[in-house]
Amino acid sequence: MKEEINEKANYCLNCKIKPCTQKGCPLGNNIPLFISYVKEENLEKAYEVLSETTVLPGVCGRICPHKKQCEGSCVRGIKGEAVSIGELEAYVFDNCKDKDSLENCYKKEIDEKKNNKKVAVIGGGPAGLTAAAFLTKNGCKVTIYEKYDYLGGLLVHGIPEFRLSKDIVERTVEKILKLGIEVKYNQEIGKNLNIKDLENKYDAIFLSFGANKSSKMGIEGEELEGVLGGNELLEYKLHPNYKGKTVSVIGGGNVAMDCARTIKRLGAKEVYVIYRRAREQMPAEDKEVEEAEKEGIKFLFQNNIVKIIGKNKVEKVELIRTKLVKTENDERLVPVNIKDSNYIIDMDYVVMALGSKVEDYVKDLGLKTNKWGNIEVNEKYQTSKPKIYAGGDLVGMKSTVAWASYSGREAAKSIIEQIKDK
């Protein structure tokens, strides 16, 4: 393993331009520099470099869409294989000898910048954990308020174990909490947690509880029994009995892949992923699509579901084939239904994995929202109430862990700037 990692690290050209960092990584990790320390077998120093920009190397190294981000911008990838950046990042997290490495990376700054400012973070997912860590690094006293009795958010209940080990999440959370962050579990807005009360108690509040309500298509038959939301299936694990059943998953992202692979593992006879665009346009990571295909999941590309048929429960679905056309207003090809290409297939369950939206109670928080229901923020992640900030899916960020983490880090910087002189 060590020899293989050394070979992969030495494959990096240590580019001065750093397209992997500047173009490919949402967090701006200094990729050539951390890899240079891997070459020297100085993993503590490599971890220190990563810790300047991220607190989730063990997670992002495994589940980020590397081919579409850092590795997709790698110079090596122009004429051959890209550097295995994700694998090297995960290796540093797994093998850094100092188990409290994050604490040691931040200890000096925490001691030097310690102040009496208090910040509440609502939600312990990627955005919230990152914000909490960078706020603490800058001397603030941080309390995370979490809906569940565990931290990690979608890292725990949104990504299956076969893709991200819960042990990795637990170790990541442990390192972050060792910075001195307080956590109050089983705290849910609208039940036992009131933001107005927190406004009186804290210097700033960061909202990062995500948006995990599955979007729908607005087609006939969506109200039938057997039409399920992909996000809710992954979060609450309230799966029906799929054994011997045929299931279709609508969508082309990683949530769709996670749902399809999970359902196949739970005994479904046939699992179809229905996507209205072509394979190369799928937002899901290539490796996730490849794994799904290996597991026997069938893909219906350039197909659009137009109706769900049944008396009380799902019995069939009507599909229509699509063609891809270029329009003036869209950067990528747009799927257009092909007239009279409709056909019907038998189906037992339909899973909507088309994206997510915020919960209904968000509109009652007294904050300005946009037409999609997301909380509006300015360039500093500040909401319509200056003391309250928000990030991640809640504000409509790109739905990847790295982008959520980026918003948490940048919001933390803005909060520090706002409260430092008060």
Do 342 and 364 have their domain in common? no
Do 107 and 237 have their domain in common? no
Do 165 and 253 have their domain in common? no
pLDDT tens-digit profile of 229-282? Answer: 999 999 999 899 999 999 999 999 989 999 999 999 999 999 999 999 999 999
Residue 325 belongs to what domain range? 214-355
Do 18 and 123 have their domain in common? no
Do 23 and 6 have their domain in common? yes
Do 39 and 159 have their domain in common? no
**pLDDT at site 415:** 97
Do 135 and 10 have their domain in common? no
Q: What is the pTM of this model?
A: 0.93
CATH of the domain at 52: 1.10.1060.10
Do 231 and 203 have their domain in common? no
Do 229 and 350 have their domain in common? yes
Last residue of a domain, one of 316, 338, 355: 355
Q: Give the pLDDT of the chain (422 residues) as one tens digit per residue.
A: 788 999 999 999 999 889 999 999 999 999 999 999 999 999 999 999 999 999 999 999 999 999 889 999 999 988 899 999 999 999 999 999 876 789 999 999 999 999 999 999 999 999 999 999 999 999 999 999 999 999 999 999 989 999 999 999 999 999 999 999 999 999 999 899 999 999 999 999 999 998 888 888 999 999 999 999 999 999 999 899 999 999 999 999 989 999 999 999 999 999 999 999 999 999 888 889 999 999 999 999 999 999 999 999 999 999 999 999 987 777 778 999 999 999 999 999 999 999 888 888 888 899 999 988 899 999 999 999 999 999 999 998 887 899 999 999 999 999 999 998 66
pLDDT tens-digit profile of 42-101? Answer: 999 999 999 999 999 999 999 999 988 999 999 998 889 999 999 999 999 999 987 678
Do 125 and 152 have their domain in common? yes
CATH of the domain at 313: 3.50.50.60
Do 107 and 83 have their domain in common? no
Do 106 and 174 have their domain in common? yes
The total number of residues shown for the chain amounts to 422
Residue 45 burial by CB count (10 A; 0-12/13-18/19+): exposed, middle or buried? middle
The number of distinct structural domains making up the chain is 3
